[in-house]
Amino acid sequence: MALFTREDRVIVINNKPEYIQRILDYDYIIRREPSVVAIVHNEDTLEKLFYGSKEILVPVYRDIHRALAQHRPTVAINLSSYRSVVKTTEPLLRDPNIRVIVIVAEGVPERDMKSLIKIANQNHKTIVGPATFGAITVGALRAGVVGGDYDNILKSRLYSPGSIGIVTRSGGLLNEMFRIVSRNSDGVLEGVAVGGDVFPGSTILDHVLRMNNDPEIRAIVMVSEIGGKEEYEIARLIREGKIRKPIISWVVGVSAELFPWRVQFGHAAAKANSEMEGAREKLRILKQAGSIVPESFGDLERVIREVSDRLELKPREAPYNPLPMDFRKAVSQGLVRRPTSIVSSISKEVDGEISYRGKRVSDILSEGGDIVDVIGYLWFGKQLSPRFRNFLSMCIVLLADHGPHVSGAHNAIVAARAGKDLVSSLASGILTIGPRFGGAIDDAMRYFYDAVSRGISAQEFVEEMKSKGINIPGIGHRVKSKYNPDRRVQLLIEFARRELSSRKYLEFALEVERETLKKSEKLILNVDGAIAAIMLDILDQEGYNIEEMLGLGYGNAIFVLARSVGIIGHILDQKRLKQPLYRHPDDDVYLI
């Protein structure tokens, strides 16, 4: 009776996606349905995994009993740590559908294993492990990671069922035997690593007997280790003809006898406490009983080849699905390429420290830099001139806030009083910035630049805009006027007259104001317009490519950055004042 079939359904205890993916990869390679039908872990969710190049969702259950009832798995792979192996394995042993349970954990206490083995025997279940890589029935199911990675699966032809059954303690040795057997016979049909603990859930003898009774298996390869005495039982069964098939045996640890003291090999069970448990004595008894014992481990190839030839085992080549390579691996090997999705030039980590256009933040700080220098690097890609730095710093101070009345602050206040969090309330305020409120700087830059470039007069410009029915960006204010001037604008003009030798854009803007004031005292050069004009003058005098910068948002960015400070202030103020929900008063709404 084969250990596994193509119809087996697997439940995995403890969600380790990479491990589970390797099981599904084998399913795909041998062209069987995905074997893993449920995972048990901390919460009910779905785990996205690959079946070939297609993504599948494997249900994850918090409750193992629900998973068992829902999917009726026949094989379980327990990835729990040794601490919870008993708690998680017991339900599996008592489940009516589960046949085989692979326990991967190392260090499972012997008393725990003894109790689990007792329950397993009572319920006629097979435990493989603990401390195992698992087991495989080639072409049916890989319950674990035996056989190694995809390359090794191909090299060992573990996609094409052969006639050899292999039993080892060690997973590493099992992988080695896969390669040897595949090179010297028609291939592997089954491989089991029983694990290296003193009390394995199933022993090498158990699997040798099972393979002996499996008509599909023509010969058995057994690689045990020093320690324990089950080889004597195997020898007896061979002598009594109860193991009839050719069985090739090797016992790892022959070298242990070269030491004058008892050597503990890698596995807990791998220690010969007497000469009987030594490799040479075991090999002698097995050979004497009729097992085929090579002269050395290296002689195994020859012996396996001899047996295979005698049984006339001819390699069969079953078709398989080539496994798609993970994208990251393919990229690392230069096998695939794809255009990057994002190009970014302004900042990156260098030696674990963020740098802005190559300027390390620690250097900015050590040189006495501040947020305006950071704006220089991140927005303009360079260290700004002192004059430009001072201008931007002044703009941020002047634009930070203009009271709770203005539309941006108002909306943020209303949102805050509606109970919205800071980010949502800030967004509400920032989203109010637009062509009429705070967002006229870029348009003003574009129009002023264009008019000056064309050499038209302010009067011609005003008439042109009027004929188009466009309000001049940077002109006009709801409450400021010729007789209630905006102090911010005055301060900006004073800065320009002090710092700028040429002010052609500002002078043009002031000419425009003179024209518009003829129509209304409120059509002043507003703070957006003043910033736009002075910015143009600075960019012009410092050799920036203005044409390239117009319309990108540099102007409005200043207002957004600055006004975020004020809007956040209003939101915190409203929260601090515990202001209630705002509702507009009826007497202030004209209902049509």
Which residues does the annotation mark as catalytic?
A: 267
Continuous H helices in 418-553: 422-430, 441-454, 458-468, 487-499, 504-517, 527-541, 546-549
Q: Can residue 520 be called a binding residue for ligand ACO (CB under 6 A)? A: yes
Q: Can residue 406 be called a binding residue for ligand LMR (CB under 6 A)? A: yes
Q: How far apart are CA 501 and CA 265, in angstroms?
A: 87
Contacted by 440, from ligand ACO, ligand LMR, none: CB < 5 to 8 Å by type: ligand ACO
Interface pick for ligand ACO out of 253, 474, 555, 566 (rule CB under 6 A)? 474
Contacted by 523, from ligand LMR, ligand ACO, none: CB < 5 to 8 Å by type: ligand ACO
Q: Which of residues 336-355 bind ligand ACO (CB under 6 A)?
A: none
Q: Can residue 531 be called a binding residue for ligand LMR (CB under 6 A)? A: no
Given a contact cutoff of 8 angstroms between Cβ atoms, the answer to whether 166 and 192 are in contact is yes
Interface pick for ligand LMR out of 19, 232, 437, 544 (rule CB under 6 A)? 437
Least distance in angstroms from the C-beta of 438 to ligand LMR? 6
Q: How far apart are CA 550 and CA 337, in angstroms?
A: 36
Contacted by 475, from ligand ACO, ligand LMR, none: CB < 5 to 8 Å by type: ligand ACO
Interface pick for ligand ACO out of 387, 437, 491, 560 (rule CB under 6 A)? 437
Q: How far apart are CA 121 and CA 201, in angstroms?
A: 10
Among residues 255 and 520, whose Cβ is nearest to ligand LMR? Answer: 520
**Tokens at residue 49, please?**
């995994």
**Tokens at residue 71, please?**
């999917």
Strands 188-193 and 164-168, sheet pairing:
parallel
Given a contact cutoff of 8 angstroms between Cβ atoms, the answer to whether 377 and 534 are in contact is no
Span of 20-28, 386-394, 417-425, 466-474 interacting with ligand ACO by CB under 6 A = 466-474
Given a contact cutoff of 8 angstroms between Cβ atoms, the answer to whether 507 and 457 are in contact is no
Given a contact cutoff of 8 angstroms between Cβ atoms, the answer to whether 112 and 85 are in contact is yes
Q: Can residue 516 be called a binding residue for ligand ACO (CB under 6 A)? A: yes
The residue nearest ligand LMR at its CB is 402
Least distance in angstroms from the C-beta of 481 to ligand LMR? 12
Q: Can residue 210 be called a binding residue for ligand LMR (CB under 6 A)? A: no
Interface pick for ligand ACO out of 436, 446, 504, 575 (rule CB under 6 A)? 436
Q: Which residue has the tokens 């014992």?
A: 293
Least distance in angstroms from the C-beta of 487 to ligand ACO? 13
The residue nearest ligand ACO at its CB is 476
Q: Can residue 490 be called a binding residue for ligand ACO (CB under 6 A)? A: no
Handedness of CA 17, 23, 24, 28 (dihedral sign): positive
Least distance in angstroms from the C-beta of 406 to ligand ACO? 7
Q: Which amino acid is at 209?
A: L
Q: Can residue 478 be called a binding residue for ligand ACO (CB under 6 A)? A: yes
Least distance in angstroms from the C-beta of 338 to ligand LMR? 46
Q: Which amino acid is at 285?
A: I
Interface pick for ligand LMR out of 478, 514, 518, 519 (rule CB under 6 A)? 478
Interface pick for ligand LMR out of 142, 210, 402, 522 (rule CB under 6 A)? 402
Q: Can residue 566 be called a binding residue for ligand ACO (CB under 6 A)? A: no
Q: Can residue 527 be called a binding residue for ligand ACO (CB under 6 A)? A: yes
Q: How far apart are CA 25 and CA 317, in angstroms?
A: 19
Q: How far apart are CA 591 and CA 568, in angstroms?
A: 33
Q: How far apart are CA 24 and CA 22, in angstroms?
A: 5
Query: Hey, how many other C-beta atoms are within 10 angstroms of the C-beta on 428?
Result: 21
Q: Can residue 475 be called a binding residue for ligand ACO (CB under 6 A)? A: yes
Least distance in angstroms from the C-beta of 488 to ligand ACO? 9
Q: Can residue 514 be called a binding residue for ligand ACO (CB under 6 A)? A: no
Q: Can residue 438 be called a binding residue for ligand ACO (CB under 6 A)? A: yes
Among residues 53 and 457, whose Cβ is nearest to ligand ACO? Answer: 457
Strands 100-103 and 126-128, sheet pairing:
parallel
261 secondary structure, DSSP code: S
Q: How far apart are CA 426 and CA 407, in angstroms?
A: 13
Among residues 210 and 570, whose Cβ is nearest to ligand LMR? Answer: 570
Least distance in angstroms from the C-beta of 484 to ligand LMR? 11
Sheet containing strand 359-360, edge to edge, reads: 347-350, 353-356, 359-360
Given a contact cutoff of 8 angstroms between Cβ atoms, the answer to whether 338 and 332 are in contact is no
Q: Can residue 522 be called a binding residue for ligand ACO (CB under 6 A)? A: yes
Q: How far apart are CA 469 and CA 370, in angstroms?
A: 43
Among residues 14 and 526, whose Cβ is nearest to ligand ACO? Answer: 526
Span of 134-142, 335-343, 362-370, 467-475 interacting with ligand ACO by CB under 6 A = 467-475
Would residue 320 be called left, alpha or beta, if left means φ above 0 and alpha means ψ between -120 and 50 degrees? Answer: beta
Q: Can residue 522 be called a binding residue for ligand LMR (CB under 6 A)? A: no
The CA-atom distances, in angstroms, between 340 and each of 54, 272, 343 are 23, 59, 7
The residues of the shown chain that bind ligand LMR, judged by CB under 6 A, are 402, 406, 437-438, 478-479, 527
The residues of the shown chain that bind ligand ACO, judged by CB under 6 A, are 435-438, 440, 471-478, 516, 520, 522-523, 526-529
